[in-house]
Chain A
Amino acid sequence: MEKDTLMDDEQMGYIELVNLRKEYKERRSVRRSHDDQEKKGDKLIALDGIDLEFKEGELVCILGPSGCGKSTLLRLIAGFDQPTAGKVLVSGHEVVKPSSDSVFVFQQDGLLPWMTVWQNMELGLNHVSCKDEKAERVKEYIDLVELSGFENNYPYQLSGGMKRRAELARALVVNPEMLMMDEPFTGLDFLTHMKMREEVVNMHEFIGKTMIMITHFIDDALTMADRVVVLSERPTKVKMVRELNVQRPRNIERDPVLRELRDEIYLMLGVSYVV
């Protein structure tokens, strides 16, 4: 579809995390669990010695207990934050600031509420000077996420699922190398969640970009991902990386490999889903 993507360097969208460490200085005392001994002024180690790589065009889901630094990891990859030690390399270059090469899809509403869907879509296309080309690209992606007819609506006039789709389209229209999704299904109702899952997978197959998605739904990871990464509690390390060579569409209930993996991850995260 987009001509310039196909002509791009083969190596684009390849991400490497080298011994990544991130510390925060605690401003107030935080105790997240009973045996947490942190006091005021303590350093909080959000990430510790993370080595990971993400292949070009891969869809990776990152799972982990809440507060383990999943979002921090994604923010580092996108360049919103700098690591205390270690490096984030994208296509061999160190990431020092945010860029439209890796577009973030936010946990809460990332659409600018004072702009229409169309205006939001144009945000990343500042560099496109030709008006017709701009309009054509916006139109194309609005059609792709099936929001035609809602171009002139404001975000508050859209349903939760439509807002996520609009944000996805806004991210895709700039033709980024990578897409970072921080719990993109949070706050959606169950059915919309299921539909969005399917749409993101289809979208990924269609555009073939590197996508990293943080989720706390194990089933999201198992049905969607090419690879699943499980992080530990703080100080966060990589606990498991697993390739999923399972044909899509996937059904966890009918696939013994996925079922077994699900049990394993539940155990790893310290919960039993059999109550």
Chain B
Amino acid sequence: MQLSETASSLASRPLFLALVTFFSICLLWQVLVSTYQVSESVFPGPLLVFDNFWQLLLEGSLLKHTAASLYRVTVGFYLAAVLGIPLGIALGRILLVKNILNPVIQFLRPISPLAWIPLAMLWFGIGDKPAIFLIFLSCFFPLVVATTIAVGSINKVYFQVAANFNFSRTDVLLKVIVPAIIPDLVTALRLTVSIAWLVVVAAEMIAVQSGLGYLILDSRNALRMDSVMVGMIVIGIIGLLLDSVVKQLGEGEATVWKKIP
């Protein structure tokens, strides 16, 4: 009885539980490293990593790398959304567009963005551009497909309502299609932003001299596993933050109607 009450009161405090989990993992990590006397150059302990984290933060390079990665993700992701969502709407609504473009999209979609690395470097050289291009590719196709499916699953009755009340094409777009797909779009954006964050690290290992991916690669070359782990941890934290930011989009009035059966 009492035990289950404690469990249910704990369950209603997700943040507290999450912190406990993180702290326990760090503790276990430290215990393992100290017990087995692992070499610091192979598996540094949390204290060492934390120490290195402070160092990198204070000297400013951590912020610089994070900002560089975030910049590339933001630009690539926005480009993909700005181009991909309208294209998805067109594919979902206009059969001719679908018949012309869909085969190409389905053909390009399964090709991993990483396979584009050689071409991206050849076309865009070194710097932000190839990385942004790769992020764009990784987000563009999933967004197009998700938008197409979302548009296709809009209840036909709503289009009949629109026809009945003599809606213009713009009205159909703005009053029916866009609001109808917003809930599905938020989900799609959540998925793609995490893909973008995955891809930026890979892209930065090849084409640029900054960013968290570069930090990891550079630290590996210097055999600084503590810095490698700092890079990994920061990537994880920012991924978590990005997801919660996009998730916030899904908490507004624009999406509640779909959550209630």
Contact = CB atoms under 8 A, between A and B. Distances in A.
B15 interface: no
A156 B257 contact: yes
B157 A114 contact: no
B256 A154 contact: yes
A20 B157 CA distance: 24
B257 A155 contact: yes
Interface residues of B, number: 21
Interface in B139-164: 155, 157-158, 160-161, 163-164
Contacts of A112: 158, 161, 175-176, 179
Contacts of A98: 160, 163-164, 166
Nearest to A112: B158
A115 B175 CA distance: 9
A150 B167 CA distance: 25
B157 A174 contact: no
Contact of B166 (A99, A114, A155): A99
Among A78, A109, A113, the most chain B Cβ lie within 10 Å of the Cβ of A113
B260 interface: yes
Given A114-B254, A123-B175, A126-B171, A103 B157 contact: no
Interface residues of A, number: 23
A100 interface: yes
B166 A100 contact: yes
A109 to B, nearest CB: 7
Contact of A174 (B165, B171, B180): B165
A124 interface: yes
B258 interface: yes
A126 B163 contact: no
Nearest to A97: B163
B153 to A, nearest CB: 14
B114 to A, nearest CB: 38
Interface in A180-223: none
A56 to B, nearest CB: 20
A113 B258 contact: yes
A124 B257 contact: no
A100 B254 CA distance: 27
Among A100, A108, A123, A154, the most chain B Cβ lie within 10 Å of the Cβ of A123
Nearest to A79: B163
Contacts of B176: 112
B163 A114 contact: no
Given A80-B160, A106-B160, A112-B158, A100 B165 contact: yes
A14 interface: no
Contacts of B160: 80, 98, 104, 106, 110
Contacts of B164: 78, 80, 98-100, 103-104, 124
A154 B166 contact: no
Contact of B165 (A78, A114, A124): A124
Contact of A106 (B157, B165, B167, B175): B157
A114 B182 CA distance: 10
Given A123-B175, A126-B171, A113 B257 contact: yes
Contacts of A156: 256-257, 260
Contacts of A97: 163
B163 A80 contact: yes
Contacts of B166: 98-100, 126
Nearest to B259: A156
Contact of B257 (A100, A154, A174): A154
Interface of A: 78, 80, 97-100, 103-104, 106, 108-110, 112-115, 123-124, 126, 154-156, 174
Interface of B: 155, 157-158, 160-161, 163-167, 171, 175-176, 179-180, 182, 254, 256-258, 260
Given A98-B164, A100-B166, 6 more contacts: A99-B164, A106-B161, A110-B160, A112-B176, A115-B179, A124-B164
8 contacts: A80-B160, A80-B163, A97-B163, A99-B164, A103-B165, A110-B161, A112-B161, A126-B171
